[in-house]
Chains A and B, each alone.
Chain A
């Protein structure tokens, strides 16, 4: 207690009869990058909106650097830089002007914010567009460069807590990597980072902790390796089913699986490494008989754990019945 930059306890927020956040708890300590994962509508943006004082919670507490963000949202906002999911209002500005404005609003001098803008333009590789003016209706600069500029606006000044809501939307693969490196650096320099993303696979290597939200509730939390399975020797067998085909794993495969998640025409089975050879033989036979279109066997990823944590009640029931 007391050493966290962001400390959320029992946070509850309803919209009519829908409970968007249901007793959610979360901590971000200095130097820590915490991922907040969840499907669309899981309550991620609702949570973020309460931290920056856009929404008032119906229950629970939010403390930012020890400040009660519900009672004193103005002070809490000074401690938080948010890159919102919606595009930042850049029309009429160049990326450099926008980053300088963001720095100035946080009390940076003109020269310091200009230097920071130049430095980040190189770090994110957007120098080519740094002096190009954004025009209304998405003209002037691309959506990806707008997103990177919004990220730089959130990261320009040293603040205790940086909240990034889907920072890599529209961003190309090379620059996404640069952005993730910068997120990690912000954490290493002592900031707390709350990272809201769907991009589990890419964000995995920058996150220290993660919380999975599902329908308003925190259904899993821990470090990536804890969520992936502490042993680290699990394998994932992914079966691609033909259209309208029955899931072949529902008829007792010749090995034990610890988790099963069906995602459209994909079935993901988590199994022990020692069963890999049996599983491959089984899947090869299924492919030969046309019951599956193809299969892959890979080490379990965080995305598998995330999908398992957010799988619907039916598949959770199926798993426990089988194991």
Chain B
């Protein structure tokens, strides 16, 4: 009886209109709130991790060098923010993305009525916020340990920080989207060793063989370190145009692969 009534009423029903797209600014803000609530809950832990890595790089690496001189201490101290940013982008971000993939969070969000690249934008902004303490933390530790006097070029420092972080996060995001969760964790671990021990971030590139210097001239690690160093010690280091280009290219590469992965249908 009730079925018949329902069906009769249904016959007369017109198709509903297609809902309007929500305002873009509101969508971005809402996604940011959502992502921040999830990842931001880990913020205190991330700050502690950053302080621990800053201590390990600035103080710990310093212990390896007997009678450390001022230029070496400066290289260590101004390379440490790059190490932090690369760890956040290439290790923590893929860890977060792998978790979102296995828990179904990413699938849930990709089914939402929002342009999918905005999911990446929200993630990028949140990881930028998470990486923010990297510079003050390392500056503080270096001042306490070596008494370094900084000559900060703020626009350059801010630009270098944003560019290096977006590069690291987008490359980490792309890795985590392309590889299986287990594989991306493995690649992260290898990359962090490569960055800390085999990249001219905390030591001069001249210590590497020439062929390895050539490899690093097209990888983004030295480029990020040189640019951030020029922002922190602007009276002693000049930003390099080639480094900027390398960083921008890696940034675009990471973003293009990430956007393609987030909008892709299986």
Contact A54 B107 (CB under 8 A): yes
A134 CA / B14 CA spacing, docked (Å)? 40
Interface status of A53 (Cβ within 8 A of chain B): yes
| Residues of chain B lying within 8 A (CB to CB) of residue A66 | 15
Q: Mark B1-35, 1 if CB is under 8 A from A, else 0.
A: 00100110110011111111111001100110110
- B-binding segment of A69-77, A247-255, A285-293, A298-306: A69-77
Counting chain A residues whose Cβ lies within 8 A of the other chain, the interface size class is: 35 or more
A208 CA / B15 CA spacing, docked (Å)? 18
Interface status of A203 (Cβ within 8 A of chain B): no
Contact A54 B16 (CB under 8 A): no
- Complex: chain B residue closest to A48, CB-CB: B111
Contact B103 A67 (CB under 8 A): no
Q: B108: which of A55, A84, A101, A208 is its contact (CB, 8 Å)?
A: A84
Contact A105 B6 (CB under 8 A): no
- Complex: chain A residue closest to B22, CB-CB: A107
| Closest chain B CB from A156 CB (angstroms) | 12
Interface status of B60 (Cβ within 8 A of chain A): no
Contact B111 A52 (CB under 8 A): yes
A158 CA / B113 CA spacing, docked (Å)? 13
A188 CA / B21 CA spacing, docked (Å)? 25
- Complex: chain A residue closest to B34, CB-CB: A101
Contact A106 B19 (CB under 8 A): yes
Contact B38 A56 (CB under 8 A): no
Contact B13 A79 (CB under 8 A): no
Report if A160-B15 is in contact (Cβ < 8 Å); known contacts: A78-B21, A86-B108.
yes
- Complex: chain A residue closest to B265, CB-CB: A56
Report the tally of A-B residue pairs with Cβ distances under 8 A. 125
Contact A105 B15 (CB under 8 A): no
A136 CA / B6 CA spacing, docked (Å)? 43
A106 CA / B26 CA spacing, docked (Å)? 10
Contact B10 A107 (CB under 8 A): no
Interface status of A218 (Cβ within 8 A of chain B): no
Contact A79 B34 (CB under 8 A): no
A77 CA / B116 CA spacing, docked (Å)? 11
Q: A208: which of B3, B21, B115, B265 is its contact (CB, 8 Å)?
A: B3
- Complex: chain B residue closest to A66, CB-CB: B15
Interface status of B40 (Cβ within 8 A of chain A): yes
| Residues of chain A lying within 8 A (CB to CB) of residue B115 | 74
Interface status of B65 (Cβ within 8 A of chain A): no
A79 CA / B112 CA spacing, docked (Å)? 10
Interface status of A159 (Cβ within 8 A of chain B): yes
Interface status of B48 (Cβ within 8 A of chain A): no
A194 CA / B30 CA spacing, docked (Å)? 27
- B-binding segment of A87-95, A123-131, A258-266, A267-275: A87-95
| Closest chain A CB from B111 CB (angstroms) | 4
A54 CA / B33 CA spacing, docked (Å)? 24
| Closest chain A CB from B112 CB (angstroms) | 6
Interface status of B266 (Cβ within 8 A of chain A): yes
Contact A82 B19 (CB under 8 A): no
Q: A101: which of B6, B18, B33, B103 is its contact (CB, 8 Å)?
A: B33
Interface status of B109 (Cβ within 8 A of chain A): yes
Interface status of A65 (Cβ within 8 A of chain B): yes
B residues lining the A interface (CB < 8 Å): 3, 6-7, 9-10, 13-23, 26-27, 30-31, 33-34, 37-38, 40-41, 100, 103-105, 107-115, 265-266
Interchain Cβ contacts under 8 Å between A and B, 10 examples: A53-B265, A78-B20, A84-B107, A87-B104, A89-B103, A91-B37, A93-B38, A106-B22, A106-B113, A225-B3
A residues lining the B interface (CB < 8 Å): 3, 5, 29-32, 49, 52-56, 65-67, 73-75, 77-82, 84, 86-89, 91-93, 97, 101, 104-107, 135-136, 157-160, 187-188, 190-191, 208, 223-225
New contact pairs (5) apart from A91-B38, A105-B112, A190-B13, CB-CB < 8 Å: A56-B265, A67-B18, A78-B21, A104-B22, A208-B10
